[in-house]
Structure 1
Amino acid sequence: MATTHRRLDSAAEFVISCGTATIDVEKKKVLVIRCRNSDEHLLPKGRKDLNETLEDAAKRETYEETGVRVSLLPVNVPTRATTPSSIAPNNRPTLVAEPIAVAQRVSDGVLKIIFWFVAAADSTIPREEGTQQEDEDFEVSWVDVEEVGDRLSFADDQRIAREACAAVFGPG
């Protein structure tokens, strides 16, 4: 028999965040930030604003932390999202801009849920300066697809980057 784990958190007990694995498809590079005060290399992410969609939060947070404007990149990934009734089941799209992963962390009793999307941007376009929040101090870089796993500090970010790159370029 399958086991079901249930948990209920009220609005004051959780936070929703969104982030991207942003890829320059042509140059085969991934957008990475380095937190200057901790020297951690991360994928950009942050908290969703009130009344903001998950997709818009992912794009906005990436822009704020990096100065790079991104667009969500539809990819061919398995998803449990249902096909809208307006689309015939045999016409289900193969490329979707749904979250490719969701991470959950508990810190100080607060559940943090992070929705991850694949995004696209052009690494040759100069980034905009002055987009980071007052308490943010990030250095921005574009890392070769083959090196990004070694550069990122945390296993979750490494896995998300690997899965995003596999969805865009194929496995291996």
Structure 2
Amino acid sequence: MAAPKFPTLQLFSPEFLICAGAILFQPPRDRPDSPLQVCILFHPQKDEYLLPKGRKDISENPYHTALRETYEETGYPCDFLPVRMHTRAPQAGEDIKDTANGRELFPLTEPFAMTFRNVGGGTDKNYKMIWWFIAKVTGEKQEGTMTASEGFQSCWFSETEVVEKLTFESDRDVVRKALELVRATYVTDST
């Protein structure tokens, strides 16, 4: 028996949970000096600021999960915001070799990050995989979109405030990268 060529962690269905979420932006403005606005969640009972995300339903793909969970938890209808970013994924039908840094393409609505969290602690195999997307608001806030077990308040913050508001450093890292991608795609220097 040969060992895998690369270090490998293999999980079976009881050992992992697929989740998805989105960094929700107000649509970028035409003016470069207009700060970006990001919607995050406040959980009053835990006194935590979080990103909208949740579990993938059976037979649902992570793209739909990200939009559904973001809508349910924030109340804002949304869609993906295409950005310019590096990806290792080929275009449909394309035959290219995988490279470590991929290549930069636009427009992309692929996941821009993935958080791999061991929620079992220690050596327990209990992992949560969170796919992160970038989204934009497409309509007015709707009330009553959360499930009964959720008690979030959606809050808008400017790009200069949002990172400091988030409770967890991993969420801050995800937002920093999303801001970098949206700025690089939509915000130009007017000088």
TM-score of the superposed pair, with normalisation by structure 1: 0.88
In 2: Cα distance, 1:15 partner to 1:74 partner: 26
The answer to whether 1:138 aligns with 2:161 is no
In 2: Cα distance, 1:12 partner to 1:6 partner: 18
State the 1:94 CA deviation.
Answer: 2.0
User: What is the total number of aligned residue pairs between the two structures?
Assistant: 165
- Aligned residue among 7, 10, 19 for 2:9: 7
Listed as ranges, the gaps of 5+ residues in structure 2 are 30-34, 97-103
The answer to whether 1:74 aligns with 2:78 is no
- Aligned residue among 82, 96, 107 for 1:95: 107
1:159 matched residue in structure 2:
173
- Aligned residue among 38, 41, 50 for 1:33: 41
User: SS of 1:159's equivalent?
Assistant: helix
In 2: Cα distance, 1:61 partner to 1:71 partner: 12
State the 1:106 CA deviation.
Answer: 1.1
User: What CA RMSD, in Å, does the superposition of the two structures yield over aligned residues?
Assistant: 2.2
The answer to whether 1:104 aligns with 2:113 is no
Q: Which amino acid aligns with 1:84?
A: A
Structure 1 runs (4+) deviating above 3 angstroms are none
The answer to whether 1:56 aligns with 2:102 is no
Amino-acid identity (%): 33
State the 1:93 CA deviation.
Answer: 4.6
Larger radius of gyration: 2
- Aligned residue among 1, 18, 21 for 2:20: 18
Listed as ranges, the gaps of 5+ residues in structure 1 are none
